[in-house]
A and B are shown apart, each in its own frame.
Chain A
Amino acid sequence: MPDSPEPASAERNPATAAKNSSQFVGFQIAGQKYAIPIDQIQEIVIPDQVTLTPQVAACVEGVTNLRGQIIPVVNLRLLLDLETIARDDETRMIVVNVSDRRIGLVVDSVSQVIRIPFENIQPSLDTMTVEGNHDVAGFAKLDDVLFILLDMNEMLQPQRLTRPGSAPVSSV
């Protein structure tokens, strides 16, 4: 069930905005707002049954069936090293396309599609790394609300989805 996000509030003068800005989908985790570029997002769904999978990184809940395709489900709270919470009516799964692969991200809630002018975006700080990964692409302020822009390509690399040390080895 696609959950169409509300139209952007920041779109005041679309003609000029389109040139000097880009669109993001904003979502919340533990009270903090985050954003992902809209062109990486396939769809937003209410999470369905998830099948647990063994031998995977702790942030991977398992796999689910997205219209006949099997996609992994990543809990973004776990990926960001936060406590997990139970699913509720607000919980959504954002399906993102990352280099030919389709991955589901479980987030607390999805707020809106936002248009962020380039001038509002600040590049990430070198100190803002999670275990040495540059997950944060930058920061953006919009109407005094801070959005953290996430780099999906960096966050969802295959090696971060497998359990350390359990990668397939050829020899017995």
Chain B
Amino acid sequence: MSGQPPGDGEMQEFLQTFLDETEEQLDDLVETMLVLEQNLEQPDQLNEAFRLIHSIKGSAGIMGFDQITVLTHHLENRFEQFRSGSERLNDPTMNLVLRCIDFLRHSNARLRDGKQLGSPNELLAELRELEEQQLQAISQQGSAEPQGSAEPQGSAEPQGTTEPQGTTEPQGTTEPEGTTPQSEKVAESQEATASPQDAPQLSQTTDGPISVTQSSVSMTVRFREGLQLADLKAKLIYNRVSNVAEVLSVTPNLDAWPEDQSLQDFQLVLAADGDEQRLREVSGVEGVEAIEFVAHPVEPQHAAVSADIPAPVESSQQATATPDSEPAVSDVIEHGTALDQSQPAQSLESPLDPVSESVPPQTPHVDQDVAETTPGPTPPQVPESVPVQAASQAASQVASKVVGKVAETMRVDIDRLDHLMNLTGELVVNRARFQQIANQFAPAKRDSDSVGQLRDFADHLRALLDSHDQSGGAAKASHRLIDQLRDGLTVIDRHSDAWERGRRNLDRFGEAVDQLSRVSQSLQKGVLDTRMTPVSPLFNRFRRVVRDLAKERGKQVELQIRGEKTELDKRMIDELGDPLMHLVRNSVDHGLETTESRRESGKPETGTILLEASHSGNNVFIKITDDGAGIDLDKIRAKVLQRGLLSASAINDLADDQILDYIWHPGFSTAKSITDVSGRGVGMDVVRNRIQQLNGSVDVESVPHEGTTFTIRLPLTLAIIHCLLVRLRGVVFAIPIEDVREIVSINMADVVSVGKKKTFELREEFISLVNVDHVFDWNELPVDANRQSLATDVDSKQSHGPLTDVVILQAAGRMMGLAVEEFLGGQDMVIKSLSNNFVEIRGLSGASILGDGSVCLMLDVGTAFQLVIQRSIAGSGKELTS
């Protein structure tokens, strides 16, 4: 019975479950504590905290982790006092409890690593000390309040009147369900009879009228006739529009658009909040002839969709409905009269008593305990347990938390999901290969005439031979020739029959490939969906971080969280923790001013940090906004000069946003003093690198005295990226579509040469033009000399043809035109690592396999920009020395 982690396999399995569960419970506990911190006397929250501590204690007891059991037992006793009202939760206790939670977390980490548990004795001693202090304080106050008396709000939440066993034997009956009889019964019975589906109805009636007033704008984009790659351009426009406005629908479906048909126009339905001028700006790419806007009110269903947070999959119906229906439930509890007015509640009145009596008080928490300690899936929806579940759901609603847990779920090892994801990736590659093969058969399929002609020819020949036979009098030699010809004819007949059969089989093959690609597309989507989890656990972690840091810095900070239901790939959420942590800490530490200076500048003393997630197109955006002083550009300028990164005149030439860009520079920090949190200057470039590794980007906007906003853009998933395929120097490159601003054909006569550098003008904007040799250094391979001739050369093109295809790349606010040999269309690509068997190549984010089985290289646009700059500097250096 020491803190030794269990050794054998079975225990190991239980340990995993124990750790997963306690971690969730600890997260919930921290959240509860933080709610409590706002107001120390919230009976429901105290109950929740008690319940959580109790279940951790129970599980730890089963596992035999004495250190955890002892500590949680003590905590449990304390909370028993708090919730019974005999003692009050105070700030020192609060801090101590949070430290205890840290200890428990730490213990979990040690258990994971298979290490010995630490001793909680110090914390226990402190707990006892605080307890004694409090008891003394109470006895000094006099005996006005006897122990166990009802607490102030006793009428609403009568848990003060604990059942006798409650205080003596905590394990058995102190579950909140057992001790909050009245409120429980009401909520329970309502949930029990009103089936879960009723809840959304309730919420809909409140949502409905508001959304009718919403309208939408439809935006029609018309392309020039016969425009190449119009569907790709349409997708680009869609991506860009969805970055500035909320797109409700797209017609036609661009993903399913057949490659060989040309797209004339397409329509986007937008939420009405889009700025028309801005929309025109972002969608005005080359080849667009006209953009029309038509505003019209939209049907309620549409508006309802737009009013929702556009998360792709809701974990359950209840989950969406709970926040809306929850106030209704608590209303019902607090004002009994409300019951009579609401329709579903009316029907509940009579079955109220029978239901609550039919469920013995012991059953709920027994089942609950089982639910919380069984390894693997959460309890299935067994009929008998429905009221119990409903009851616990109601209880959690009353406690205004723990939403969405009722959905049937199952824990799955993330590695298995990764494996599944990789397999799906392979399938996607194979699908592309099949489609390519099927397309290559297309000419043969279409060529039905040749078989007919062959048959005609054979028939004609046969007729000739027959007539020759009839005319008779042929020499022996010609008889032999005729026999040979007849043999030849049978062979032709046989072959044309086989050909005909083959053609029919090709048709069937084509259908099978179509079917396969449909299924694999759904599979791909399905697998992606399983990996999507809401960002709320990630976001909620920051409540504690912000609270601790604000206390430490003596600042008053409020953290607001929005859009926490937005979903993101699990791996991505795991990877985001550190960069987000850095940005949030930065906002508290550097972004927000001290309370005094906020007061002086007439701002509210409490600073606000907004953590917001939203979903738009194929991207998820995460914004961290503070209402602090903004980033001081002069400080950055001074720093750039001090570090010798630029000369004084060069600094003066830079625009404000270019100066702002320097915060991402390695070893850069404007903080005067180095703190343990931020200010070491290692942070921001690491943040940017991390996010770029996730194929995302991060931008900063800052308004002096108003605050700073960091915007992180992430793709929905890591595994599959929609890319534009181009041929450069005979090699196929894939460029993530998010990094492509536009595809244009430019006249080489319009290219302006500045020394060796070239630029061209596009809609009154000058963009530098490079070719792939400006980005990369290639080996001269004498083996296949013909490859060399394929190289795109901006200079040689000038003499050959007037038009050059250029893809305009964008990264971190910069733009660059890259001359390409050929556009090969768009495709979903599965990134494969180059470094697994090879080495990392700077400027490439990986490679992928094309339909024909050959390898294409994935361009890392951000680094490509750096390479161009580096190589142009190095190039000019060489010129000087030579």
Using a CB–CB distance below 8 Å, which chain A residues touch chain B?
Answer: 48-49, 51-58, 60-65, 68-72, 75, 84-87, 101-103, 158, 161-163, 166-172
Q: Would you give the shortest CB distance from A19 to chain B, in whole angstroms?
A: 34
A169 to B849, CA, bound (A): 27
> Is the Cβ of A84 less than 8 Å from the Cβ of B666?
no
Which listed residue, A55, A60, A61, A167, touches B776 by the CB 8 Å rule?
A55
Does B144 lie at the interface of the complex (its beta carbon under 8 Å from any beta carbon of A)?
no
Bitwise, B819-850 to A at CB < 8 A (1) or not (0) is 00000000000001110111111111001010
Using Cβ atoms and an 8 Å threshold, which residues of chain B touch A48? 853-854
> Is the Cβ of B857 less than 8 Å from the Cβ of A84?
no
Does B681 lie at the interface of the complex (its beta carbon under 8 Å from any beta carbon of A)?
no
- Also in contact, A70 and B855, with CB within 8 A (given A51-B731, A84-B783, A171-B666): yes
Using Cβ atoms and an 8 Å threshold, which residues of chain B touch A71? 837-838
> Is the Cβ of B787 less than 8 Å from the Cβ of A52?
yes
Q: Would you give the shortest CB distance from A47 to chain B, in whole angstroms?
A: 11
Using Cβ atoms and an 8 Å threshold, which residues of chain B touch A54? 772, 775-778, 841, 843-844
Mind listing 28 A-B residue pairs with CB under 8 Å? A51-B731, A51-B855, A52-B779, A54-B777, A54-B841, A54-B844, A55-B841, A55-B843, A57-B779, A61-B781, A63-B847, A63-B855, A68-B426, A68-B429, A68-B849, A69-B837, A70-B849, A71-B838, A72-B838, A75-B783, A85-B783, A158-B839, A161-B838, A169-B842, A170-B666, A171-B667, A172-B665, A172-B866
A160 to B39, CA, bound (A): 64
Q: Would you give the shortest CB distance from B616 to chain A, in whole angstroms?
A: 30
Q: Would you give the shortest CB distance from B530 to chain A, in whole angstroms?
A: 22
A70 to B781, CA, bound (A): 20
Using Cβ atoms and an 8 Å threshold, which residues of chain B touch A168? 840, 842
Does B729 lie at the interface of the complex (its beta carbon under 8 Å from any beta carbon of A)?
yes
Interface size for B (C-beta < 8 A) is 43
Which listed residue, B666, B772, B777, B857, touches A172 by the CB 8 Å rule?
B666
- Also in contact, A162 and B839, with CB within 8 A (given A63-B834, A70-B834, A172-B666): yes
A126 to B126, CA, bound (A): 70
A103 to B866, CA, bound (A): 29
> Is the Cβ of A65 less than 8 Å from the Cβ of B838?
no
Which listed residue, A53, A56, A65, A166, touches B854 by the CB 8 Å rule?
A65
> Is the Cβ of B855 less than 8 Å from the Cβ of A65?
yes
A9 to B489, CA, bound (A): 53
Q: Would you give the shortest CB distance from B734 to chain A, in whole angstroms?
A: 11
> Is the Cβ of A101 less than 8 Å from the Cβ of B837?
yes
Which listed residue, A61, A65, A166, touches B842 by the CB 8 Å rule?
A166
Of all chain A residues, which has the CB nearest B780? A58
Using Cβ atoms and an 8 Å threshold, which residues of chain A touch B832? 69-70
- Also in contact, A52 and B778, with CB within 8 A (given A65-B849, A172-B866): yes
- Also in contact, A64 and B855, with CB within 8 A (given A52-B787, A54-B776, A55-B776): yes
Using Cβ atoms and an 8 Å threshold, which residues of chain A touch B869? 172
Of all chain B residues, which has the CB nearest A172? B866
Q: Would you give the shortest CB distance from A143 to chain B, in whole angstroms?
A: 33
A75 to B780, CA, bound (A): 13
Q: Would you give the shortest CB distance from B682 to chain A, in whole angstroms?
A: 11
A131 to B849, CA, bound (A): 35
Bitwise, B767-793 to A at CB < 8 A (1) or not (0) is 000001001111101111001000000
- Also in contact, A52 and B730, with CB within 8 A (given A63-B834, A65-B854): yes
Using Cβ atoms and an 8 Å threshold, which residues of chain A touch B731? 51-52
Using Cβ atoms and an 8 Å threshold, which residues of chain A touch B866? 172
Which listed residue, A49, A53, A87, touches B783 by the CB 8 Å rule?
A87
- Also in contact, A101 and B838, with CB within 8 A (given A52-B778, A70-B832): yes
Which 9 interchain pairs have the tightest Cβ spacing? A54-B776, A72-B838, A51-B855, A49-B854, A71-B837, A101-B837, A102-B837, A168-B842, A84-B783
Most buried by B among A65, A87, A166: A65
Most buried by A among B429, B772, B832: B832
Does B856 lie at the interface of the complex (its beta carbon under 8 Å from any beta carbon of A)?
yes
Using Cβ atoms and an 8 Å threshold, which residues of chain A touch B772? 54
> Is the Cβ of B857 less than 8 Å from the Cβ of A51?
yes
A105 to B48, CA, bound (A): 65
> Is the Cβ of B779 less than 8 Å from the Cβ of A49?
no
Using Cβ atoms and an 8 Å threshold, which residues of chain A touch B737? none
Does B732 lie at the interface of the complex (its beta carbon under 8 Å from any beta carbon of A)?
yes
Q: Which of B742-782 contact A (CB under 8 A)?
A: 772, 775-779, 781-782
> Is the Cβ of A51 less than 8 Å from the Cβ of B838?
no
- Also in contact, A55 and B783, with CB within 8 A (given A49-B854, A70-B832, A70-B847): no
A21 to B847, CA, bound (A): 41
Using Cβ atoms and an 8 Å threshold, which residues of chain A touch B787? 52
Using Cβ atoms and an 8 Å threshold, which residues of chain B touch A172? 665-666, 866, 869-870
Q: Would you give the shortest CB distance from A51 to chain B, in whole angstroms?
A: 4
> Is the Cβ of B854 less than 8 Å from the Cβ of A51?
yes
Which listed residue, A63, A163, A170, touches B838 by the CB 8 Å rule?
A63
Bitwise, B711-743 to A at CB < 8 A (1) or not (0) is 000000000000000000111100000000000
Using Cβ atoms and an 8 Å threshold, which residues of chain B touch A171? 666-667
Q: Would you give the shortest CB distance from A121 to chain B, in whole angstroms?
A: 29
Bitwise, B846-882 to A at CB < 8 A (1) or not (0) is 0101001111110000000010011000000000000
A64 to B847, CA, bound (A): 10
> Is the Cβ of B783 less than 8 Å from the Cβ of A163?
no
A128 to B538, CA, bound (A): 59
Q: Would you give the shortest CB distance from B472 to chain A, in whole angstroms?
A: 56
A87 to B782, CA, bound (A): 12
Using Cβ atoms and an 8 Å threshold, which residues of chain A touch B779? 52, 56-58, 60
> Is the Cβ of B837 less than 8 Å from the Cβ of A72?
yes
Q: Would you give the shortest CB distance from A97 to chain B, in whole angstroms?
A: 10
> Is the Cβ of B847 less than 8 Å from the Cβ of A101?
no
A122 to B477, CA, bound (A): 75
Q: Would you give the shortest CB distance from A66 to chain B, in whole angstroms?
A: 9
Of all chain A residues, which has the CB nearest B785? A86
Q: Would you give the shortest CB distance from A2 to chain B, in whole angstroms?
A: 17
Of all chain A residues, which has the CB nearest B838? A72
Using Cβ atoms and an 8 Å threshold, which residues of chain B touch A51? 731-732, 847, 854-857
Most buried by B among A53, A85, A103, A167: A53
Q: Would you give the shortest CB distance from A40 to chain B, in whole angstroms?
A: 14
Bitwise, B508-523 to A at CB < 8 A (1) or not (0) is 0000000000000000
Which listed residue, B783, B833, B843, touches A86 by the CB 8 Å rule?
B783
A141 to B630, CA, bound (A): 76
Of all chain B residues, which has the CB nearest A103? B837
Q: Would you give the shortest CB distance from A46 to chain B, in whole angstroms?
A: 14
Using Cβ atoms and an 8 Å threshold, which residues of chain B touch A60? 779
A55 to B777, CA, bound (A): 5
Q: Would you give the shortest CB distance from B834 to chain A, in whole angstroms?
A: 6
Q: Would you give the shortest CB distance from A151 to chain B, in whole angstroms?
A: 19
Which listed residue, B426, B838, B840, B870, touches A70 by the CB 8 Å rule?
B838
Of all chain B residues, which has the CB nearest A53? B841
Using Cβ atoms and an 8 Å threshold, which residues of chain B touch A52? 729-731, 778-779, 781, 787
Since A52-B779, A61-B783, A69-B836 are in contact, a sample of 8 more A-B pairs with Cβ atoms closer than 8 Å, ordered by chain A residue number, is: A53-B834, A53-B841, A54-B776, A55-B841, A56-B839, A63-B855, A70-B832, A70-B834
A87 to B584, CA, bound (A): 58
Q: Would you give the shortest CB distance from A116 to chain B, in whole angstroms?
A: 28
A57 to B840, CA, bound (A): 13
Using Cβ atoms and an 8 Å threshold, which residues of chain B touch A61? 781, 783
- Also in contact, A84 and B782, with CB within 8 A (given A52-B787, A55-B842, A70-B855): yes
Q: Would you give the shortest CB distance from A113 to chain B, in whole angstroms?
A: 24
